[in-house]
């Protein structure tokens, strides 16, 4: 069978979703942000809620998410995405509201907003991309930077006695009563990406049922910040990040696992 016999519109089984714009993503090659964007938008397109979804972009690498996601988007001040999402969700309770935040945004400057939004149990989805570093500003140390991990502000590795232990945000918020679903996923291989997509679908289903906060952490790479190739950074992530940030569900249907 010739290739041209296979490559026909009726045989297409996978392509870019309509919920993403044609704008070329501004991320570095191999960055997990692109996969996470696409998976979230594929879920929204499959659920048929493109018209009913409002996203809140953060500050960080993904600040331009509003250019890439073909849905209604706004952009919050640094770390304040859960507060903005709270307002949107309360004014439009029937809408699907989500925030898309990195670890510098959610776990550092926005810790208060994150924890209080989770404690109040707002009916929103928080998508948290954890790559252990401030990617956009030049690879500075984040609260999630691993012990001993080098960054531009910890050139000899992070020291716990000086800066504390890496912050496990998902475990932290899972203990709050307002959180209905908390999970940690990854997107660097097909298996992980498919699981992450299921988790995102469950999160948006929870919003449909007005269950409260769904907190989806995605452990991602930052190959530019980590000074590695994309493949090397994925291997490093599996060996080091997953050891400290184990993947899996932490809270399902309001019950800790």
Partner 1 sequence: MAKVKGAIVVDSEICKGCEVCIPVCPEDVIRMTPQVNRKGYHYAYMENPEACTGCTNCGIVCPDRAISVYRVKVS
Of 12 and 94, the one with the shorter C-beta distance to partner 1 is: 12
State the DSSP code for 58: -
Question: What is the nearest approach in angstroms of partner 1 to the Cβ of residue 18?
Answer: 11
For residues 133 to 172, the per-residue mask of contacts with partner 1, x marking binding by CB under 8 A and - elsewhere, is: ----------------------------------------
- Least Cα distance to 245 among 176, 186, 178 occurs for 186
Token pair, residue 32, equals 């997990």
Which of 33, 80, 168, 184 binds partner 1 (CB under 8 A)? It is 33
Asked if 221 and 30 count as a contact pair (C-beta separation under 8 A), the reply is yes
Query: Residue 27, interface with partner 1 (CB under 8 A)?
Result: yes
Burial class (CB in 10 A: 0-12, 13-18, 19+), 209: exposed
Cα(159)–Cα(163) distance, integer angstroms? 6
Spatial neighbors of 223 by CB under 8 A, at least 6 apart, are 28, 29, 30, 31, 229, 230, 232, 233
CB of 1 or CB of 91, closer to partner 1: 1
Q: Which of 21, 25, 87, 163 binds partner 1 (CB under 8 A)?
A: 25
Asked whether 220 and 192 are in contact (CB, 8 A), the reply is no
Q: Taking CB under 8 A as the rule, which mask of x and - marks residues 184-203 in contact with partner 1?
A: ---xxxx--xx--x------
- Closest distance of CB 90 from partner 1, Å: 34
* Footprint of partner 1 on 36-65 (CB under 8 A): 38-39
CB count within 10 Å of CB 113 equals 23
- Contact call for residue 17 and partner 1 (CB under 8 A): yes
Residues that bind partner 1 (CB under 8 A): 1, 3, 5-8, 11-17, 20, 24-25, 27-35, 38-39, 187-190, 193-194, 197, 229-231, 234
């Amino acid at each position: 069978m010739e290739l041209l016999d296979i490559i026909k519109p009726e045989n297409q089984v996978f392509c870019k979703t309509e919920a993403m714009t044609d704008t070329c993503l501004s991320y570095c090659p191999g960055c997990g942000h692109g996969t996470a964007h696409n998976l979230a938008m594929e879920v929204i397109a499959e659920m048929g809620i493109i018209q009913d979804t409002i996203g809140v972009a953060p500050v960080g690498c993904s600040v331009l998410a509003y250019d890439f996601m073909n849905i209604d988007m706004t952009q919050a001040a640094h770390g304040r995405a859960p507060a903005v999402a709270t307002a949107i969700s309360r004014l439009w309770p029937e809408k699907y509201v989500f925030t898309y935040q990195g670890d510098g945004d959610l776990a550092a400057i926005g810790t208060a907003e994150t924890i209080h939004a989770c404690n109040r149990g707002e009916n929103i989805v928080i998508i948290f991309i954890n790559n252990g570093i401030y990617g956009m500003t030049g690879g500075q140390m984040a609260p999630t930077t691993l012990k001993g991990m080098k960054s531009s502000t910890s050139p000899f590795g992070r020291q716990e006695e000086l800066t504390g232990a890496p912050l496990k945000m998902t475990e932290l918020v899972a203990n709050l009563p307002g959180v209905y679903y908390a999970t940690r996923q990854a997107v660097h291989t097909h298996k992980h990406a498919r699981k992450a997509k299921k988790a995102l679908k469950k999160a948006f289903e929870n919003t449909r049922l007005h269950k409260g906060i769904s907190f989806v952490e995605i452990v991602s790479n930052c190959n530019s910040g980590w000074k590695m190739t994309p493949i090397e950074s994925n291997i490093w992530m599996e060996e080091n990040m997953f050891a400290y940030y184990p993947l899996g569900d932490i809270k399902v249907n309001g019950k800790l696992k």
